[in-house]
Amino acid sequence: MLAIIHGWSDYSKSFHRLAKRLAQENPDTPIAHIRMGDYVSMDDRVTFDDLAQALESAWRDTSNGLSTQPRSTDLIVHSTGALVVRDWMTQFYTPDTNPIHRLVMLAGANFGSHLAHKGRSFAGRVLKGFNKKNTDLIKSGPHFQSGEIILDGLEIASTYSHDLALRDRFVDDPWYGPGRVLCTSIVGSTGYTNIAAAANEPGSDGTVRVSTANLNPVHITLDFETNPREPTLTLEEPNGTTAFARINRENHSTVALKKSGPRDAHTLEVIKKALRVTDAEFDGFTAELEAENNARREAGSNNTNTQPYQNTVVRLRDQYGTPVDDYFLELFAKKQIQEDIPDEDLKVDATNTRYLQEKVVSNVHAYRADPSSRSFMINTQRLFNKFGAEQNRPLYIALTAMPDIDETGTVGYRTIEYHDIGSVRVDPDNLAAIFAPDRTAFVSIRIRREQNPRLFAFSEMPT
């Protein structure tokens, strides 16, 4: 059994072409055994919880012919459909009882879309064209609806996508890999043409970033709280395995064969392989795709639009767990190491620091509902050109936060003066673990908030 679920502002009919191609080319999966899912994505009142519950009810409706037996059904999802299905699986099943066997994500918005915060006017005019065929955007009433709560979860650096990753990627019992869900994420790295080209962004397929489609994030912790002068870095890999394929010629629509496509004949081959792969073959399949990814990154290395990026999502909290909204996270370089000068006393390398700030960090977006959560788009190709193993040049990460306690005289942070707070040093041999192409890295930072002793004091009662 194969089911297909669409994304935001779409319908199942958009995937009839894909379903027919798969049915024609896979005689073991006749068209009668393909189920097309439809859901409401443009109602401003609908939440992801609503969609997960509705999906569970529809799945258990016996008239649909879907089974709840473990690993009984293969599933293709597009864009927002990836979030809906991951939310549903982790709410209603366990890794052992999950009914999904193979999961193929086409341009899955696993860690958000750079378009989600653009607004209704942008979505309507650029992506939908405001024509009468787009009935989801043109409702009877004073204004059209865009699915505001869904778009909030889709925003880059949203707490929703972070919390969802904690439920299925950073858990003791893995959801993905041999014996569990065999998940393959496939995404293009070429944007739209014509008026929709206004949606394009380097490192994206027009709607989602290549790095946010990949379901292999890492979790990094920077501790500036315990000993601010000597902050530490720890890294956690996700539990389980998912496969990932970037295909340079596809955009958000053609990768799913919607109105046209695929532009690359290899795309359909990867989809078909992902729907046939066995537990025994999965690790080899994953390695094969990664080798192809490296070749495609090399092929697109001279084009800024197809160069690889890491979506680096930073969340800053103090020791009480309170979000810190006003901060500056800085990547910088120092002069070459000298044996007679302590590392913390080395002067800043202005030339390479400027390169990091202007050429490597390409985009910063603060999540509207919680500005302490921000996405930093890191051009990994440019980063490794200057800070790879060949250059033997460390990278440093520093943090400045406000308010400054010396300025307020009551509460705040000590980060302004040079020796108030230390920096995290990343040596070239560790760089690839912290920064990797086409993926998301969640960075949780803790900082110490201080209080002046005068903030609260006791005194003798006057006689």
Contacts of 80 (CB under 8 A, 6+ apart): 7, 8, 41, 109, 150, 154
Angle between helices 159-168 and 81-92 (to 10 degrees): 50
In terms of domains, do 254 and 350 share one? no
| Averaged pLDDT for residues 411-432 | 93
Name which of 329, 365, 308 is nearest 443 in CA terms: 329
- Structural domain count, the chain: 2
Domain containing 290 — which CATH number?
Answer: 3.40.50.1820
HEC string for 339-402: CCCCHHHCCECHHHHHHHHHHHEEEEEECCCCCCEEEEEEEHHHHHHHHCCCCCCCEEEEEEEC
pLDDT for 139 equals: 44
CB atoms within 10 A of CB 340: 4
In terms of domains, do 346 and 278 share one? no
**pLDDT 10s digits, 201-232:** 999 999 999 999 999 999 999 999 999 999 99
Name which of 76, 103, 59 is nearest 240 in CA terms: 103
Residue 436 lies in a domain: yes
In terms of domains, do 401 and 279 share one? no
| Averaged pLDDT for residues 78-89 | 96
**pLDDT 10s digits, 348-379:** 999 999 999 999 999 999 999 999 999 999 99
Residue 461 lies in a domain: no
In terms of domains, do 35 and 169 share one? yes
Q: Is the pLDDT of residue 127 over 60?
A: no
Q: Is the pLDDT of residue 15 over 80?
A: yes
Residue 55 lies in a domain: yes
In terms of domains, do 293 and 322 share one? no
In terms of domains, do 290 and 343 share one? no
Residue 460 lies in a domain: no
Contacts of 409 (CB under 8 A, 6+ apart): 452, 454
Peptide bond into 462 cis (omega under 30): no
| Averaged pLDDT for residues 108-137 | 66
Residue 458 lies in a domain: no
Residue 408 lies in a domain: yes
In terms of domains, do 367 and 269 share one? no
Domain containing 320 — which CATH number?
Answer: 2.60.40
pTM of structure: 0.92
In terms of domains, do 160 and 75 share one? yes
Residue 267 lies in a domain: yes
Q: Is the pLDDT of residue 437 over 50?
A: yes
Residue 338 lies in a domain: yes
In terms of domains, do 187 and 334 share one? no
Range of the domain at 151: 2-214+239-306
The domain boundary residue, chosen from 306, 325, 355: 306
Which tops the pLDDT comparison, 126 or 439? 439
The domain boundary residue, chosen from 265, 285, 306: 306
In terms of domains, do 113 and 243 share one? yes
Dig out the tokens for 169 from the structure.
């990627």
pLDDT for 111 equals: 97
Dig out the tokens for 217 from the structure.
């994030």
**pLDDT 10s digits, 157-197:** 999 999 999 999 999 999 999 999 999 999 999 999 887 88
The domain boundary residue, chosen from 249, 276, 306: 306
In terms of domains, do 186 and 277 share one? yes
pLDDT for 26 equals: 65
In terms of domains, do 313 and 300 share one? no
